Structure 1
Amino acid sequence: MTTALIYLVVMLLVAAVVFLVAAVVFGRGEELAPLAPGSSPTRLPAEDINAEDIQRVRFQLVVRGYKMSEVDWVMGRLGAEIDGLRARVRELESESEAAR
């Protein structure tokens, strides 16, 4: 019984030392500092969104996929941009018809 207990204690000590050495050598595995809680890496320009801006959008990962509030924010911004562009097209078309 005593031998098994000593064996278990030695195993736990070896595992702890291996873990600490690996943690010191490899670190947390992150290249950048973690984001502050509630912040977002998602960025879009204030206006004139183009295809390149959309391709560069990145969402914060959470347990079950992407952070829903960020996706909702981007979708809302894109919807507003599309609505604004369509309104501008209608305005220009009506001006064009009135000029004829």
Structure 2
Amino acid sequence: MVMFLFLLLALVVVVGAVTLAVVGGGESGPLPAAPPEQYSEPLPPDRPVGRSDVEALRFPLALRGYRMVEVDEALGRLGAELSERDARIEELESALAGARAHRFDAPGAPDAPGAPGATAGPVPARTEEPGPDAPPEDHA
């Protein structure tokens, strides 16, 4: 019975010491509040987001997973940039198709089918004839 009372007393002393340390019974005061976690490396605001930015993106943990506001902001930004890139790609592809169509539709264009000077097949290799300064070939 004495051993039980000793262990109970030791437990009360340990719990009391921990409580005083947390609440601030000493000179140092209570434990400082932890600052809220932020992005370790947020998405760059001054340039387009690259693949390495997305791969390095890490969201801070909250009580129930991730902070929805931060995840929503990052996904919104990525969606907007992808939409801009898709629109730009579509614009460039249509401009390229228009330029190709214009080049082949132009009368007298050397690349247009049926135009004078257009080649129907592969271009034969040019053989250069030796000039007057070339040394004579030895046909031995």
**TM-score class, shorter:** 0.5 to 0.7
Is the aligned partner of 1:75 residue 2:64? no
Specify which structure has the higher proportion of helix.
Answer: 1
Residue equivalent to 1:90? 90
**Cα gap change, 1:7/1:63 in structure 2, threshold over 3 Å: closer, same or farther?**
same
Contact 1:40 1:70 in 2 (8 A): no
**CA distance in 2 between partners of 1:87 and 1:59 (Å):** 29
**CA distance in 2 between partners of 1:61 and 1:91 (Å):** 40
**CA distance in 2 between partners of 1:10 and 1:78 (Å):** 57
- Deviation by residue 1:58-84 (Cα, 9 ceiling, x = unmatched): 112111100000110111011011101
* Backbone CA RMSD of aligned residues: 2.9
Q: Percent identity?
A: 37
* Structure with max Cα Rg: 2
**CA distance in 2 between partners of 1:86 and 1:7 (Å):** 71
Q: Which runs of 5 or more residues in structure 2 are unaligned? A: 22-30, 101-140
**CA distance in 2 between partners of 1:51 and 1:13 (Å):** 56
The TM-score normalised by the length of structure 2 is 0.48
In structure 1, give the amino acid aligned to 2:60.
Q
The TM-score normalised by the length of structure 1 is 0.64
**Cα gap change, 1:84/1:5 in structure 2, threshold over 3 Å: closer, same or farther?**
same
Give how far 1:43 is off.
0.5
Give how far 1:88 is off.
0.6
In structure 2, give the amino acid aligned to 1:75.
L
**CA distance in 1 between partners of 2:8 and 2:34 (Å):** 36
Give how far 1:35 is off.
3.5
Q: 1 or 2 for the larger relative contact order (CA 8 Å, sep ≥6)?
A: 1
Count residues in correspondence. 83
Following superposition, which runs of at least 4 residues in structure 1 exceed 6 angstroms of deviation?
A: 4-7
**CA distance in 1 between partners of 2:99 and 2:63 (Å):** 57
Q: Which runs of 5 or more residues in structure 1 are unaligned? A: 21-27
Residue equivalent to 2:44? 45
**CA distance in 2 between partners of 1:16 and 1:55 (Å):** 47
